[in-house]
């Protein structure tokens, strides 16, 4: 195995596939990046078995690739990244010199690194699933940003650690919930598509980091895996097994109270009060009236806060409702709207938050009981 490659493209490729690599992988080979030189392609693969990323480097545009000998090797990700990043040269020379000992050099600096044999790297099936659709990068990133934050970080109900994507009858419903709050985004989709899968939020976070707004992302799914294809990179993730809960019936359909307000101002008010915590949770109380809306908090040890919500417009009878301030904060931020609308059905009933003028995204939060 012997090739030379442009430093910049090699480093970018290594960085992308390294995103799949976990520091806690039980399999030693998974701490490395598999590098395959195949006639006119350099194929880089990183994986932690849950998520696998593969990218292909070719001799094109500004990228110079010259493969003199085919071959494959696995190099510890942090070493190869360090070497390539810090080499002050436009070109990197890469050669297996003895068994798994690999020479990497550029601009007078030469490294001999103990690699691992490529045959010890698990085979990863990158074959393309059948249900295929595509999104522009900025839309895919928005879907993830608006739903993934609401997933659970506890492994007690694994299915809640992912975002559910349900395609049927020309509609794609994307839902994240940790059972205390729920985020849902609805999109139109090709009516031939039909699937109901749950993708780990962790994998979606990596997708979001790699995708650029202007990319066109092809997505291919079946009931085993999902693939995101961007230019010459494939990000592949396992799915979470198990039936996703029926969330549609949790969303109230009629409301008795409505609060609308500037999103930025409300975020500011919640943020200001967020240090007043009971057992690590900042519970906010909304005291809502057509005359005045007040946000207050209280914690025995710390103290209390009250703030009149300037510019809030409330319709309905007097209502007092308490909830986790962090959940409302996250939900408002995810809506990305200038003005937000809360719809309530009662003191202890779930309420929803939407951005004014955007019916595609809905945030639902469960209230909490307070004893103040």
Which residues bind to its own copies, rule: CB under 8 A?
Answer: 76, 78-79, 82-83, 86-88, 101, 108-114, 268-269, 271-273, 275-276, 301-308, 310
Residue 315: count of CB within 10 angstroms of its CB: 12
What are the φ/ψ torsions at residue 141 (nearest 5 degrees)?
-65, -35
Give the shortest CB-309-to-its own copies separation in angstroms.
Answer: 9
DSSP per position, 174-188: EEEE-SSEEEEEEEE
DSSP per position, 144-197: HHHHGGGS---TTSGGGGEEEEEEETTEEEEEEE-SSEEEEEEEE--TT--EEE
Give the shortest CB-365-to-its own copies separation in angstroms.
Answer: 22
Q: Which is nearer to its own copies, 105 or 203 (CB)?
A: 105
Q: Which is nearer to its own copies, 67 or 269 (CB)?
A: 269
CA 331, CA 316: separation in Å to the nearest integer? 23
What are the φ/ψ torsions at residue 270 (nearest 5 degrees)?
-65, -45
Residue 217: count of CB within 10 angstroms of its CB: 21
Give the shortest CB-18-to-its own copies separation in angstroms.
Answer: 14
Those residues with Cβ within 8 angstroms of residue 157's Cβ, 6 or more apart along the chain or in another chain: 179
Give the shortest CB-19-to-its own copies separation in angstroms.
Answer: 19
> Closest Cα partner for 366 from 85, 14, 352, 337?
352
Q: Which is nearer to its own copies, 132 or 294 (CB)?
A: 294
Give the shortest CB-336-to-its own copies separation in angstroms.
Answer: 21
Question: Would you say 147 and 183 are in contact if contact means Cβ atoms under 8 Å apart?
Answer: yes
Give the shortest CB-7-to-its own copies separation in angstroms.
Answer: 13
CA 108, CA 175: separation in Å to the nearest integer? 53
Q: Which is nearer to its own copies, 152 or 305 (CB)?
A: 305
Q: Which is nearer to its own copies, 256 or 289 (CB)?
A: 289
Q: Which is nearer to its own copies, 58 or 272 (CB)?
A: 272
């Amino acid at each position: 195995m012997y090739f030379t490659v442009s430093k910049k493209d090699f480093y970018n490729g290594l960085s992308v596939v390294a995103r799949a690599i976990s520091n806690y992988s039980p399999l030693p080979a998974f701490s490395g990046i598999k590098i395959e030189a195949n006639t006119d392609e350099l194929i880089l693969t990183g994986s932690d078995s849950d998520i696998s990323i593969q990218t292909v480097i070719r001799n094109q545009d500004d990228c110079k690739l010259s493969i003199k000998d085919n071959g494959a090797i696995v190099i510890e990700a942090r070493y190869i990244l360090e070497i390539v990043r810090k080499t002050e040269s436009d070109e990197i020379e890469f050669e297996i010199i003895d068994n798994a000992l690999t020479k990497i050099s550029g601009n007078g600096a030469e490294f001999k690194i103990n690699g691992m044999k490529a045959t010890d790297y698990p085979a990863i099936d990158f074959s393309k699933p059948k249900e295929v659709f595509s999104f522009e990068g900025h839309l895919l990133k928005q879907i993830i940003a608006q739903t993934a934050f609401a997933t659970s970080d506890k492994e007690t109900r694994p299915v809640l650690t992912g975002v559910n994507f349900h395609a049927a009858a020309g509609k794609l419903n994307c839902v994240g919930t940790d059972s205390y709050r729920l985020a849902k985004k609805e999109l139109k989709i090709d009516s031939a598509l039909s699937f109901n899968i749950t993708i780990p939020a962790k994998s979606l976070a990596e997708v979001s980091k790699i995708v650029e707004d202007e990319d066109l992302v092809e997505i291919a799914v079946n009931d085993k895996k999902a693939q995101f294809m961007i230019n010459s990179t494939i990000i592949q993730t396992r799915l979470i097994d198990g039936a996703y809960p029926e969330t549609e019936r949790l969303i109230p359909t009629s409301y008795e109270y409505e609060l609308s307000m500037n999103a930025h101002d409300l975020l500011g008010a919640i943020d200001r009060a967020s240090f007043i915590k009971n057992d690590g949770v900042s519970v906010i109380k909304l005291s809502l009236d057509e005359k005045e809306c007040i946000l207050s908090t209280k914690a025995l040890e710390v103290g209390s806060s009250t703030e009149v919500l300037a510019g809030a417009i409330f319709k309905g009878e007097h209502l007092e409702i308490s909830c986790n301030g962090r959940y409302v904060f996250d939900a408002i931020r995810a809506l990305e709207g200038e003005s937000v609308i809360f719809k309530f059905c009662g003191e202890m009933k779930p309420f929803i938050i939407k951005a004014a003028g955007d019916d595609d995204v809905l945030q639902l939060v469960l209230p909490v009981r307070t004893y103040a």
